[in-house]
Amino acid sequence: MHDKMITIVDYKTGNLGSIRNILKKIGADSVITSDRNVIAEASKIILPGVGAFDTGMRNLNELGLVSVLNQKALVEKIPVLGICLGMQLLSEGSEEGLLPGLGWLKGKNVRFRFMNTTDHKIPHMGWNFITVKKESKLFTDMYPDPRFYFVHSYYFMPEESGDVLTTTLYESEFTSSVEKGNILGMQFHPEKSHKFGMKLLKNFVDNY
């Protein structure tokens, strides 16, 4: 591993500082940027984000970042990690909006629908457990019973079951993280998930 510098993409959708702080805690340098030239030099990218799908895609388009992100993820195949809205943008689209997503993963985002609305509120908010569905360097030496912090009303439904890394139960099972080659995404917030999130991000920094 030649470079621990992580490039955090700033496309005006919040909570970048908390990700940078937790990376600092685990000994990884990071830069927060919306500069295409800086992103073009990245060796690892985190695409964070909270908020609405179309706002996220519109901002990426207006900042002229889609082509450089496509180049890094699809051509150079550097490790890219989408967090929360960032994971949803890896998809082809969302029920929440009209704009197409980045389309790196097949599938779209759907809103939670419950048979029994009294027990499960939208958004899905707070701590929840995950079930790891396939082997991944992201979960090397992970603490037992890993649980993470969630805040979301939509979730990604991958078309390809092989892309599913973890699932989480919220009335029914949904995909809570994905991994396809160099492209990773997590619906939960590792930066708000204490030791579990720190371990996950450390694995992303060290193992990819």
Instruction: Kindly state whether residue 40 falls inside one of the protein's structural domains.
Output: yes
List CB contacts of 195: < 8 A, sequence separation 6 or more.
Answer: 143
Instruction: Kindly state whether residue 25 falls inside one of the protein's structural domains.
Output: yes
Instruction: Kindly state whether residue 128 falls inside one of the protein's structural domains.
Output: yes
Counted domains in the chain: 1
Cα torsion 184, 188, 189, 193 to 10°: value is -110
Instruction: Kindly state whether residue 74 falls inside one of the protein's structural domains.
Output: yes
Question: Which strands make up the sheet holding 131-132, listed edge to edge?
Answer: 30-33, 6-9, 45-47, 80-83, 183-186, 172-180, 164-170, 131-132
Domain span including residue 130: 6-207
Give per-residue pLDDT as tens, 29-41: 999 999 999 999 9
Quick check: is 84 catalytic? yes
Quick check: is 120 catalytic? no
DSSP 194: H
Instruction: Kindly state whether residue 1 falls inside one of the protein's structural domains.
Output: no
Per the residue annotation, which of 124, 152, 179, 189 is the catalytic one? Answer: 189
Enter the pTM of the model: 0.96
> DSSP labels for 77-139?
---EEEETHHHHTTSSEETT-SS----SSSEEEEE---SSTTT--SSEEEEEE-EE-S--GGG
Quick check: is 159 catalytic? no
Per the residue annotation, which of 124, 152, 179, 191 is the catalytic one? Answer: 191
Give per-residue pLDDT as tens, 85-141: 999 999 999 999 999 999 999 999 999 998 876 688 999 999 999 999 999 999 999
Instruction: Kindly state whether residue 90 falls inside one of the protein's structural domains.
Output: yes
Q: What is the CATH number of the domain that holds 11?
A: 3.40.50.880
Per the residue annotation, which of 84, 96, 124, 152 is the catalytic one? Answer: 84
